[in-house]
Amino acid sequence: MTRPARVNSARLWDSLMEMARIGATTKGGVSRLALSEEDRQGRNLFVRWAREAGCSIRIDAMGNIFARRPGRDNSLAPVMTGSHGDSQPMGGKFDGIYGVLAGIEVLRTLNDLDIQTERPVEVVNWTNEEGSRFAPAMIASGVYTGVFDLEYGLSRTDAEGITLGQALQDIGYAGDQAMGGQPIHAAFELHIEQGPILEAEDITIGVVTGAQGQRWYEIELFGRSAHAGTTPMKHRLDALLGLSRVVEAVNELGLAQGEEGRATVGWVNVFPNSRNVVPGRVLFSVEFRHPDEAVLETLDGQLCNAVSEIAEAIGLQHSLKQIFQYAPIGFDPDCIAQVEQAAITLGYSHKPMISGAGHDACYLSKVAPTSMIFVPCVEGLSHNEAEHIHPHWAEAGANVLLLAMLAKASV
């Protein structure tokens, strides 16, 4: 039996470590905010490596970089892979960039083995996936796939009022290629899991079948500020007390959904936020995630009822607004099957998974057959300087990516 193709594990790891030196932090992570000087340096390195692998480069109006290796028939739609190169302010050195550099390693391996695919193969480095500097997240892949228009994307601003379009000009990555519109035969995104499941279950490959839907809310509770020393407990209209009960209710709603449930209160503002004043107002977020839209709709009603009942019981007024809704994503069955078959061929343990996080692949799935591949990360830690994966996990994910792409590109 012919041994299946495999990537050069040492070369892949060396590439990851070299890229990690750009924007390196003292605790072992990276800080490469979108369109920063560090991001510019990381983009330059990606472009250099892609050109050394024989690729042509094109850059679109949102700064997305596409590196193409030609196929036998370049009139055919390409098979695409990639992820993002930007990071959180104090992020890890594998989130996003692992998928980009694994794509480069696939190109290098095809060159090493003198494999000419029937279709072209592309590696993409998406702009501003994290949304740390320019909100919302995944803005450039969103513009590429028509979720947002180009004017909206370029007009996003950072905390200093700099637009995304100006930042692209500043670092020299304001491209002239059209946004989207090109057919894509298939797309795969390789990523660290960013959660604890694969490591805890000693499984090497997550075969990602879809992504959770999301609903975000902003809630205000209005009570009455009062002196903490002179106002008896029974006379208080404590907005923070209402918040504490809503937090408990949100947690219970999440637990009730079993393994797929996610319910979070992650952002809170308390007014007047003084140690000797009973809080008169709180403003906070609630987020639900689940792969079933019907469950999200049920959670919506349950949240509204819970907030109303809690507020009434304390004597508070309230306001509840849904500020974001993102439907669950189902990935392409054949792309999923190719990932699973690659894991089987290579002898890797694997399981189907739903992504709890948003990824560029979620938007890309709107215009192309798409799926994702997950590998474990230590203790499920991500968006953290201590984020880590083992070299054999990095190799395994890239090997699966290589075989899945070959299956789609060679036929």
370 lies in the same domain as 334? yes
The two tokens of residue 24 are: 């390196």
Q: Which of 1-5, 25-29, 65-69, 314-318 has the lowest mean pLDDT?
A: 1-5
Q: Give the angle subtended at the CA of 275 by the CAs of 273 and 278, to the nearest 5°.
A: 70
The answer as to whether 400 is a domain residue is: yes
| SS3 assignment, position 91 | strand
- Which two structure tokens, joined as six digits, stand for 213? 């839907």
Same domain, 206 and 252: no
Q: Are residues 235 and 366 in the same domain?
A: no
Residue 277's contacts (CB-CB under 8 Å, 6 or more residues apart) are 225, 226, 227, 228
3-state secondary structure of 343: helix
| Separation CA 229–CA 45 (nearest Å) | 61
pLDDT higher than 60, residue 383:
yes
Give the pLDDT confidence score for residue 35 in this predicted structure.
98
Per-residue pLDDT at 226:
98
136: left (phi over 0), alpha (psi -120 to 50) or beta: beta
Lowest pLDDT segment from 88-92, 103-107, 321-325: 321-325
Length of the chain, in residues: 411
The DSSP bridge partners found for residue 226 are 278
For the chain, what is the largest distance between any 2 Cα atoms, rounded to a whole number of angstroms? Answer: 83
In the prediction, which pLDDT does 156 show?
A: 97
Domain count, the chain: 2
Q: What is the H or E stretch that residue 399 is in?
A: helix 391-409
List, for residues 164-192, the tens digit of each pLDDT value: 999 999 999 999 998 988 999 999 999 99
Query: SS3 string of 236-290?
Result: CECHHHHHHHHHHHHHHHHHCCHHHCEEECCCEEEECCCCCEECCEEEEEEEEEE
Structural domain includes residue 135: yes
What are 32's two structure tokens? 């490469």
Q: What percent of the chain has pLDDT over 70?
A: 100
Is residue 1 included in any domain, yes or no? no
Query: Are 276 and 133 members of one domain?
Result: no
CB 168, CB 363: distance < 8 Å: no
3-state secondary structure of 13: helix
- Compute CA distances 307 → 153, 212, 220, 311, whole Å: 35, 24, 10, 6
| Average pLDDT score over the chain | 97
What is the CATH classification number for the domain harbouring 348? 3.40.630.10
Q: Hey, which residues does 371 pair with through a beta bridge?
A: 188
CATH of the domain at 261: 3.30.70.360
CB 6 within 8 A of CB 402: yes
15 lies in some domain: yes
Region for residue 114 given its phi and psi (left: phi exceeds 0; alpha: psi -120 to 50; beta: otherwise): left
4 within a domain of the structure (yes/no): no
Confidence band (pLDDT; 50, 70, 90) for 311?
Answer: very high
In which residue are the tokens 């992020």 written? 91
Residue-wise pLDDT for 99-137, tens only, equals 999 999 999 999 999 999 999 999 999 999 999 999 889
CA distance 172 to 128: 15
In a domain, 2, yes or no: no
Range of the domain at 307: 213-326
Residue 268 and residue 258 share a domain: yes
Determine the pLDDT at residue 264. Answer: 97
Tokens representing residue 33 in the block: 């905010």
* Same domain, residue pair 155 and 181: yes
pLDDT tops 80 at residue 411: no
Tens of pLDDT, residue by residue over 331-368, are: 999 999 999 999 999 999 999 999 988 899 999 999 99
Q: Is the same domain home to 375 and 388?
A: yes
Instruction: Return the higher-pLDDT residue of 325 and 160.
Output: 160
Specify if 356 maps to a domain: yes
For 265-293, the pLDDT digits (tens) are: 999 999 999 999 999 999 999 999 999 99
Which residues 6+ apart lie within 8 Å of 7 measured at CB? 102, 105, 106, 108, 109, 395, 398, 399, 402
235-251 pLDDT, tens per residue? 999 999 999 999 999 99
pLDDT of residue 326: 84
Do residues 108 and 39 share a domain?
yes
Shared domain for 299 and 332, answered yes or no, is no
Domain final residue pick, 308, 326, 344: 326
Residue whose C-alpha is closest to residue 374's, from 359, 385, 364, 386 = 359
Residue 149 has pLDDT above 60, yes or no: yes
Q: Pick from 277, 307, 326: which residue ends a domain?
A: 326
Domain check: are 256 and 404 in the same one? no
Please tell me the distance from the alpha carbon of residue 101 to that of residue 103, in angstroms, as a whole number. 5
Are residues 134 and 28 part of one domain?
yes
178 in the same domain as 243: no
Q: Is the pLDDT of residue 324 over 90?
A: no
Question: In sequence order, what are the residues at sequence separation of 6 or more whose Cβ sits closer than 8 angstroms to the Cβ of residue 351?
Answer: 198, 201, 203, 205, 206, 207
E strand or H helix that includes residue 75:
none
Q: In the prediction, which pLDDT does 200 show?
A: 97
> Is 243 within 8 Å of 282 (Cβ atoms)?
yes
pLDDT, residue 1, reads 56
Q: What is the mean pLDDT of residues 191-213?
A: 97
Which domain-ending residue is among 326, 360, 376?
Answer: 326
Amino acid at 370: T
Rounded to an integer, what distance in angstroms lies between the CA atom of residue 84 and that of residue 102? 12
> pTM of the full predicted structure?
0.89
pLDDT at 2 (0 to 100) = 79
With respect to residue 119, please indicate whether it lies within any of the assigned structural domains.
yes
- Provide the strand spans (E) within 54-204: 56-59, 65-69, 79-84, 121-126, 186-192
